A and B are shown apart, each in its own frame.
Chain A
C-alpha cells in the first residue's frame, strides 16, 4: 500500500512537469516510465510501458489549446495496476483510458480555473507580492488533484480487476497480448510520417 501511495505521489509530481512547472521532459513516457518502475522494483516493465506510451501518444502534441493524454498518468496507472498483479497488457489498456480521462478532467479544470484566476488577479493588482503565493497555490492544487485522480482511478479499476482477471478465459489474455504488441509497430509508422520531408 505504501509503495502504491508513493507511486501515485511520484506520478502526480512528475505530471506537474507536463504543463505547470519546468517542462524538462521528466513527464515524458521514456523518463517517467523507468522512474516509476524503479519505485515498484520493476524498472524493465516501467521502461516498456514508457516506450509504448510515448509511441502511442506520439501523434498528439500540445499545440495551442490541444491537451494530449498524459503520458505520466498512463505510466503511473499502468504500473499501479501491474503492482496489483494485473498483467501488463491489460494494465496498459486501463492506463491509456486513465490518461484520456485525465486530459478531459484537466480541460474541465482549466475552464473552472478562470474564475479563480480572476479573483487572484484582483489580489495581485492590490498586492503584487501575492503573485508568488498564487503560483505556489496553483502548483499545490494541481499536485493534489493529480494525486487524487491517479489514486482514485487506480483503486476504482485495479481492485475489482485484480479479482476479475483470474476468471478471464485464456483467449482474452491472447487478445490483450496481441494488441499490446501492436503498439510499437503503430508508433514506428507514426515516427516515419513525423519526419516526412516537405518542400522547404
Chain B
C-alpha cells in the first residue's frame, strides 16, 4: 500500500531518476533507485525476492523526468498485483501486463512531457521573465546594461520563471504518483485527470501574445533613443537586425540550429571586417 511516507520517499527519489543515464538502458538505474523503498516494503516478508524483482526494474526505461511519476505510481500498483498472484499463470499474465504498461506508459508520458515542459512551458516562462525585465527597464538588447540596477530588479525575472515552471513541474511530479497508483482501470493511469492538450494549447495562445508584445517592445527599445534616424549608424544597425530576423526565419524553416547561425555570422563578420 502506498502510504503518505512512502509517497514522499518516492517523490524525493524521483528527482534522481536520470542519474546514471546511459545509452544502453537509459534511466534504468534511476528507476530502480526510485522504486527500491516501495519494493523493500512490499517484499518485506520475502526479502530474497527483492534482487530478482529489482532486475526487472534494471531493464530499459526512458521517459520525461517530470512525467516519470505517472510511471512510478502505476508500476507500484502493478507490482502489488504481481506480488499478490496466487498461481503461476496469473503471475505470468500480470508480468506481461507489467512489461506492457512500463513500455507504453513511458512512451506516452515522454510524449506529453516533452511537448508540455520542454516545448511550451520552458519558452513561456522565459518570455515571462523577459517581459518583466523589460518592464523594469532592463534593456538586454544593449551591450552595456545600466550598472544602477538593484539585485531585486535582476532577480525577480529569474524568480518568476523559476516558480512558474517548478510549481507545475513539482505538482505534476507529486500528484502523478498518487493519481496513477489509485487510478481506475479505465482512467489511463491517471493521465486523463489533466487535459494536457488544452493546457498546451492555452500556454501557446498566451505565449504568442507575450512573444508579439516582446518583439514590439524590442523594436521600441531599438528606436526610442535614436537622435538621428537617418544616420549611418542607425541604418547599419537596422539593416543588420532585419537581416538577422529574416535569415533566422529561413534557418528555422531549414531546421538549422540558431547556434550555427550565430557562429557562422560571427566568422563571416570577422572576415568581412578584416578585408
A binding-site residues for B, Cβ under 8 Å: 19-25, 28, 30-31, 34, 43-45, 47-48, 51-52, 54-65, 69, 88-89, 93, 96-97, 100, 110-111, 113-114, 116-118, 120-121, 124-126, 128, 131-132, 134-135, 138-139, 169, 171-172, 174-197, 200
What are 14 inter-chain pairs, A to B, with CB distance below 8 A?
A: A21-B19, A25-B166, A54-B126, A59-B257, A111-B22, A113-B22, A114-B22, A116-B22, A125-B55, A131-B29, A191-B126, A191-B127, A194-B119, A195-B205
**Which of B58, B143, B245 is close to A124, meaning CB atoms less than 8 Å apart?**
B58
In the complex the two chains form, what is the Cα distance from A103 to B163 in whole Å? 27
B binding-site residues for A, Cβ under 8 Å: 15-16, 18-25, 28-30, 32-33, 36, 40, 50-52, 54-55, 58, 62, 65-66, 110, 114, 118-120, 122-124, 126-127, 129-130, 133, 138, 140-143, 145-147, 149, 151, 154-155, 157-158, 161-162, 165-166, 169, 197, 201, 204-205, 207-208, 211-212, 214-215, 218, 240-241, 244-245, 248-249, 252, 257-259, 261-263, 265-266, 269-270, 272-274
List chain A residues, Cβ under 8 A from B127.
191
- Given A117-B25, A186-B262, the answer on whether A61 and B145 have CB atoms closer than 8 Å is no
Would B140 and A47 count as touching, CB distance under 8 A? Answer: yes
A31 to nearest B CB, angstroms? 5
List chain B residues, Cβ under 8 A from A200.
197, 201
In the complex the two chains form, what is the Cα distance from A45 to B240 in whole Å? 23
The residue in B23, B124, B205 that gathers the most chain A C-beta atoms within 10 A of its C-beta is: B23
Would B274 and A169 count as touching, CB distance under 8 A? Answer: yes
Would A62 and B161 count as touching, CB distance under 8 A? Answer: no
In the complex the two chains form, what is the Cα distance from A132 to B257 in whole Å? 38
**Which of A24, A57, A113 is close to B259, meaning CB atoms less than 8 Å apart?**
A57
